[in-house]
Amino acid sequence: MGIRHLPDHLINQIAAGEVIERPAAALKELLENSIDAGATQIEIDLREGGKTLIAVRDNGCGMSRDDLSLALDRHATSKLSDEDLFNIRFLGFRGEALPSIASIARVKIASRQNGVGEAWEITAADGQKSQVRPSQQAQGTYVEIRDLFYATPARLKFLKTANAEYAAAKETVQRLALVNPGIAFRLSHNGATSLHYPVLSDLYDRQSKTRLDQVIGSDFTTNALPIDAQRGMASLQGFISIPTYNRGTAQNQYIFVNGRAVKDKFLYGAVRAAYQDVLARDRYPVVALFLTLASEDVDVNVHPAKAEVRFRDNASVRGLIVSSLLHAIRGASLQANSGLGQSVVSHFQMPPAQVFNYQRDYTQNASVYGNLAEPVASFYQPGMDIAPSARFEAVAPNPEAVNYPLGSARAQLHENYIVAQTDSGIIIVDQHAAHERLVYEKFKKHLNDNKIPKQGLLTPEIINLDDTEAALLLENKIQLENLGLDIEAFGMGAVAVRTIPALLTGRVDIGMLVRDIVDELKEQAVSTLLEEKMNALLSTLACHGSVRSGRRLSAEEMNALLRQMEETPSSGQCNHGRPTFVSLSLKDIEKLFSRR
């Protein structure tokens, strides 16, 4: 068999294989087209998760009769006018989506161009376009995809259940809705409306906050810190959750680059690095971040579905993200998770039915409770009937300290919980968690202010890498040295490690550490591994070096701990993202007694 050109239809199917892996991907392409067309209203209809129908109606600029026929041709686009791949101002630019989809599904497009009287439509099936025919269609465009993958049965088998496909499609709508707060979105599934994000005002800032509330929930926005940073031509806006508001997956990390929803490992890595000190490795913050760069500083033409991007200057993008997030996190050390007080209250509250039963039992079955006077009296004699561990000593409030954010210590309960009174509520501090954080911060500060102590190795450890890896590592020689890791070139493709951070002596496999650092450098241009390893160790040391629960504290000690917490960055959570204190407002407490 000689070499031959593949038929167009097959080429389109191959392209579709890359870009359209599931209904959500086809939907993303249609939505991006509507956004590119300047629509302010987009309506989406799905059946069976998009497997049998994906329909998108927009009120954008529409297409002329000629354009309509071209839209289904391969590499035909209206979006690359100046033929410059590094100046892309639209979400689309390849002219591939519609012909690819038309090669694997039945497609209908109806459109009326802005300011034109008549509307037109075209259909395609089996890769064959129909003639353009007159149509009934208001201004804008309607695209309908039926029976996706019917032409490629092998692909059809890879689809998940309708519900799973629907979930992915819905997420696609939500991501695009977040970054387009000026567009109203409506999504229906099997005939029922499932999402509706109206546009409420034309004030862009207010609308984008509203959209965050609509999409992620007001729970997030009340527990979020605003980000607004600029570095050179790059800027970063958005919101990030306080560390104690975290999730078990990265699902709720919405990151956008120049208006494009991306799922980029490099960007997720930068977010993780910013939180590494306040969150356990398996916990994830919720973020909505909008990164804006000059279009020539970012290459969007690296991923067929445009889900990943490349930056001209990785290190500076990472720097912008890490430093602005860190700044926000550190500045917010004392913001308590608003949900925590609520959840404390809900634990206290008994279900109404039970309260009722309890009262009835209580009156009907007086014998069970016997003489009330007795148990009541025992309450007023501390220590008589109360387990020793529950004993506490009350301290008179210090009138000045009440005005501090964490208030004035009033008591220690169960030898671990400090109860403090503020001007508007109660604070409960986990003394062990809090002290651990303080010790940890102190260790870190010490390391920052002083040179990191190194431990020389008796015989240098030789690590064999390939030559590009060795070169990459040596490019970062100075940074690594500052962290206590001295390396030198050792012939072709090998390095010699001469010192390691003293802290890590005997605790790491040096070869493995260096190889991991290389991997990280390859992936994200910067390595934070060494720092993270040391921080992890410090945090273990801090745990051992801090006040254990079970230790009695005097009033002075308790108040000193509160004051230190107020002064220490990030003291609101331990190193794993668990809170070090909760606050109950008087309002919360009133709720407990059904006063509200």
Cβ–Cβ under 8 Å, residues 552 and 415:
yes
- Residue from 23, 49, 50, 92 touching ligand ADP (CB under 6 A): that is 92
Q: CA 308, CA 313: separation in Å to the nearest integer?
A: 15
Residue 273, classed as helix, strand or coil, is helix
- Residue from 16, 27, 61, 565 touching ligand ADP (CB under 6 A): that is 61
Span interacting with ligand ADP, options 2-10, 55-63, 170-178, 244-252, rule CB under 6 A: 55-63
Helix axes 265-275, 510-524, angle to 10 degrees: 120
Cβ neighbours for 442, distance < 8 A, ≥ 6 positions apart: none
User: Which pair of tokens denotes residue 575?
Assistant: 């190193």
Pick what 58 binds: Mg ion, ligand ADP, none; C-beta below 5 to 8 Å, kind-dependent: ligand ADP
Span interacting with Mg ion, options 27-35, 203-211, 232-240, 309-317, rule CB under 5 A: 27-35
Question: Least separation, in Å, of the C-beta of 15 and ligand ADP?
Answer: 10
By beta-carbon proximity to Mg ion, the closer residue of 213 and 299 is: 299
Whose tokens are 């088998």? That residue is 157
Q: CA 446, CA 542: separation in Å to the nearest integer?
A: 13
By beta-carbon proximity to ligand ADP, the closer residue of 103 and 210 is: 103
- Residue from 9, 65, 79, 477 touching ligand ADP (CB under 6 A): that is 79
What secondary structure letter does DSSP report for 60?
A: S
Residue type, 580: T
Question: Least separation, in Å, of the C-beta of 11 and ligand ADP?
Answer: 14
By beta-carbon proximity to ligand ADP, the closer residue of 38 and 545 is: 38
Q: Is 71 in the site for ligand ADP (CB under 6 A)?
A: yes
Chain CA centroid to CA 106, Å: 36
Q: CA 147, CA 26: separation in Å to the nearest integer?
A: 12
Q: Give the binding-site size for Mg ion (rule: CB under 5 A).
A: 3
Cβ–Cβ under 8 Å, residues 182 and 199:
yes
Q: Give the binding-site size for ligand ADP (rule: CB under 6 A).
A: 22
Give the CB-side neighbour count of residue 509, counting CA atoms within 13 A: 4
Q: Where would I find the beta strands (DSSP E) of 161-210?
A: 184-189, 192-197
Pick what 37 binds: Mg ion, ligand ADP, none; C-beta below 5 to 8 Å, kind-dependent: ligand ADP
- Residue from 20, 49, 50, 58 touching ligand ADP (CB under 6 A): that is 58
Pick what 147 binds: Mg ion, ligand ADP, none; C-beta below 5 to 8 Å, kind-dependent: none
By beta-carbon proximity to ligand ADP, the closer residue of 29 and 461 is: 29
**Near ligand ADP in 17-46, by CB under 6 A:** 29, 33-34, 37
**Near Mg ion in 84-143, by CB under 5 A:** 92, 97
Residue type, 552: R
Dihedral angle sign, alpha carbons of residues 366, 370, 373, 379:
negative
Strand order in the sheet with 581-585: 408-413, 417-422, 425-430, 581-585
| Position with the least CB separation from ligand ADP | 92
**Strands 253-257 and 260-262, sheet pairing:** antiparallel
Cα distances (Å, whole numbers) of residue 495 to 87, 472, 477:
41, 11, 11
How many CB atoms are closer than 10 A to CB 110? 24
**Near ligand ADP in 317-336, by CB under 6 A:** none
- Residue from 17, 95, 339, 405 touching ligand ADP (CB under 6 A): that is 95
How many CB atoms are closer than 10 A to CB 556? 10
Cβ–Cβ under 8 Å, residues 29 and 92:
yes
Q: Is 60 in the site for ligand ADP (CB under 6 A)?
A: yes
Span interacting with ligand ADP, options 86-94, 117-125, 294-302, 539-547, rule CB under 6 A: 86-94
**Near Mg ion in 140-169, by CB under 5 A:** none
- Residue from 24, 25, 26, 33 touching Mg ion (CB under 5 A): that is 33
Question: Least separation, in Å, of the C-beta of 425 and ligand ADP?
Answer: 53
Question: Least separation, in Å, of the C-beta of 8 and ligand ADP?
Answer: 14
How many CB atoms are closer than 10 A to CB 253? 20
Pick what 69 binds: ligand ADP, Mg ion, none; C-beta below 5 to 8 Å, kind-dependent: none
Containing 14, the helix (H) or strand (E) segment is helix 8-19
Residue 116, classed as helix, strand or coil, is coil
Per the document, the length of the chain is: 596
Site string for Mg ion, 60-79 (x = CB under 5 A): --------------------
Cβ neighbours for 247, distance < 8 A, ≥ 6 positions apart: 283, 284, 285, 286
Containing 364, the helix (H) or strand (E) segment is helix 352-364
Span interacting with Mg ion, options 33-41, 227-235, 356-364, 572-580, rule CB under 5 A: 33-41
Pick what 223 binds: ligand ADP, Mg ion, none; C-beta below 5 to 8 Å, kind-dependent: none
What secondary structure letter does DSSP report for 244?
A: T
Cβ–Cβ under 8 Å, residues 360 and 352:
no
Pick what 78 binds: ligand ADP, Mg ion, none; C-beta below 5 to 8 Å, kind-dependent: ligand ADP
Span interacting with ligand ADP, options 56-64, 331-339, 357-365, 459-467, rule CB under 6 A: 56-64
**Strands 41-47 and 184-189, sheet pairing:** parallel
The two most distant CA atoms of the chain are separated, in Å, by 102
Question: Least separation, in Å, of the C-beta of 174 and ligand ADP?
Answer: 20
- Residue from 65, 94, 231, 477 touching ligand ADP (CB under 6 A): that is 94
Cβ–Cβ under 8 Å, residues 230 and 321:
no
**Strands 140-146 and 224-231, sheet pairing:** unpaired
Span interacting with ligand ADP, options 71-79, 153-161, 368-376, 422-430, rule CB under 6 A: 71-79
Pick what 71 binds: Mg ion, ligand ADP, none; C-beta below 5 to 8 Å, kind-dependent: ligand ADP
- Residue from 46, 54, 55, 63 touching ligand ADP (CB under 6 A): that is 63
**Near ligand ADP in 121-150, by CB under 6 A:** 141
Span interacting with Mg ion, options 29-37, 42-50, 387-395, 558-566, rule CB under 5 A: 29-37
Span interacting with ligand ADP, options 58-66, 159-167, 398-406, 471-479, rule CB under 6 A: 58-66
Span interacting with Mg ion, options 28-36, 141-149, 265-273, 533-541, rule CB under 5 A: 28-36
**Which residues contact Mg ion (rule: CB under 5 A)?**
33, 92, 97
**Which residues contact ligand ADP (rule: CB under 6 A)?**
29, 33-34, 37, 58, 60-63, 67, 71, 77-79, 92-98, 141
